[in-house]
């Protein structure tokens, strides 16, 4: 039996584009027996020539780890974060911001064409090309382990990369980290996740108890670190299995539900809302997957009569209170129901806004009828399911008019899409 390990296979690759998942993809030029195959390599940039070590072989492509940059891209830049390349959060911080946005729009265009058979007339455009690239993220979840290591998960694993600041987080979140990181560490091992959210109402912190330890609260509450956190962070709560089981007495009674969906980039969200308001045509609008009214409330403020449908009861309750505070509760009605169930007995208004989670809105799209709903604005955080749903809508008599790539998550491969879709007869 031969136990000699095979030597690593080194390849030379011409990098061509960004791929979904955060790596870049290119064509192998050497060695000859590998030539022509595709290779996926993280921390590279389109236009570069690199060498890499093969880590996984597939029939038509390989995954590889970057070894050397033979010909660097002029769009390569020095990452701001000292743990970039270790932390699993950012993918493309080594590429300058204008280039990031261009290659992300191109990635979406390729994905829609190759995997969805969808050709966007004029190509996928960039919406908000002057948005900031750092200090934008207003919700962060940090992790701790039994050794009280604190930070973010390493790429492709659960090991923790320790850090004290995150350059894509808002200054308020980083200030909270700076002031309280030792106290957060002092709440381990009972707490395994620290979520910090930056809202208009202030900073909110939630500690998530390890799911296997339902008695942890009894040992967490007496801890000196936890008691000091209560003094320093007015809006503090403790969750078990993502449900609140403790709230500090000083916590705001009208606070947003922590750990539930909200748009993470305040400035980009405003750009998105302005675009949506420009493209909703009818007086009556149905907002499906409405959350706490992120889109519904601005629509109502603009004079539309809005039906909002959302399954999360915490978000619905908060949305109702926000609508009352904004003075639009007479024009905005919330329905606490899964959109897939609601659409079974409702047609939707002439204009429909879709803002589903990553799984998309397949069942809803299968029921939308162009003789009832003539205009759709579809907001997607996951291009593959968006492509699938657009195919379904096309079969039902709709046509895709425009797709905008909104860079909601700079420094990552993630792309938010805002699409305008119309009934074919009405277009």
CB 120 within 8 A of CB 128: no
CB 39 within 8 A of CB 52: yes
381 is catalytic: yes
Round to whole Å and give the CA distance between 144 and 147: 8
Alpha-carbon distances of 164 from 150, 159, 169, 175, rounded to whole Å: 8, 16, 11, 10
Round to whole Å and give the CA distance between 361 and 357: 8
Structure tokens belonging to residue 282? 């009818």
Catalytic residue among 90, 187, 365, 381: 381
- The size of the chain, in residues, is 427
Q: Residues near 401 by Cβ (< 8 Å), separated by ≥ 6?
A: 121, 419, 420, 421, 422, 427
Round to whole Å and give the CA distance between 196 and 173: 7
Helix (H, G, I), strand (E, B) or coil at 338: coil
Alpha helices (runs of H) in 124-265, residue ranges in sequence order: 171-185, 216-220, 224-232
Structure tokens belonging to residue 107? 């990635």
Structure tokens belonging to residue 381? 């955080």
**Residue matched to tokens 């064509």:** 27
Would strands 284-288 and 305-310 be described as parallel, antiparallel, or unpaired? parallel
Residue 160 neighbours by CB distance under 10 Å:
19
DSSP secondary structure, 21-41, as one string: TS-EEEEEEESGGGTT-EEEE
Round to whole Å and give the CA distance between 337 and 289: 10
> What residues act catalytically?
381
């Amino acid at each position: 039996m031969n136990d000699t390990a095979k030597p690593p296979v080194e390849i030379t690759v011409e990098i061509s584009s960004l791929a979904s998942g955060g790596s870049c993809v290119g064509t192998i030029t050497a060695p000859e027996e590998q030539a022509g195959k595709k290779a996926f390599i993280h921390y590279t940039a389109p236009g570069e020539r690199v060498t890499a070590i093969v880590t996984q072989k597939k029939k038509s492509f390989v995954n590889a780890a970057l070894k050397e940059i033979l010909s660097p891209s002029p769009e390569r830049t020095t990452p701001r974060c000292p743990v970039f390349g270790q932390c699993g959060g950012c993918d493309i911080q080594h590429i300058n911001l204008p280039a990031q946005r261009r290659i992300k729009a191109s990635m979406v265009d390729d994905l829609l064409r190759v995997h969805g058979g969808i050709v966007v007339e004029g190509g996928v455009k960039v919406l908000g090309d002057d948005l900031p690239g750092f200090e934008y993220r207003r919700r962060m979840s940090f992790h701790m382990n039994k050794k009280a290591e604190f930070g973010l998960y390493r790429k492709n694993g659960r090991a923790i990369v320790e850090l004290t600041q995150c350059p894509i987080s808002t200054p308020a979140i980083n200030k909270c980290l700076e002031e309280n990181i030792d106290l957060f560490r002092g709440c381990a091992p009972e707490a395994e996740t620290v979520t910090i959210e930056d809202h208009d109402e202030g900073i909110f912190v939630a500690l998530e108890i390890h799911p296997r330890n339902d008695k942890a609260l009894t040992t967490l509450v007496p801890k000196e670190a936890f008691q000091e956190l209560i003094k320093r962070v007015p809006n503090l709560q403790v969750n078990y299995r993502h449900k609140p089981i403790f709230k500090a007495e000083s916590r705001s009674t009208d606070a947003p539900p922590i750990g539930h969906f909200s748009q993470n980039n305040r400035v980009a969200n405003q750009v998105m809302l302005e675009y949506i308001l420009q493209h909703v045509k009818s007086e009556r609008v149905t907002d499906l997957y409405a959350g706490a009214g992120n889109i519904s409330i601005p629509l109502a403020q603009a004079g539309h009569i809005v039906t909002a449908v959302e399954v999360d009861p915490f978000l619905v309750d908060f949305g109702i209170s926000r609508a009352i505070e904004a003075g639009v509760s007479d024009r905005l009605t919330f329905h606490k129901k899964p959109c897939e169930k609601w659409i079974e007995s409702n047609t939707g208004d002439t204009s429909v806004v879709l803002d589903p989670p990553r799984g998309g809105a397949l069942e809803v799209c299968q029921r939308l009828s162009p003789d009832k709903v003539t205009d759709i604005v579809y907001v997607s955080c996951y291009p593959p399911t968006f492509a699938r749903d657009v195919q379904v809508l096309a079969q039902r008599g709709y046509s895709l008019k425009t797709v905008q790539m909104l860079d909601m998550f700079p420094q990552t491969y993630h792309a938010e899409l805002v699409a305008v879709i119309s009934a074919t007869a009405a277009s």
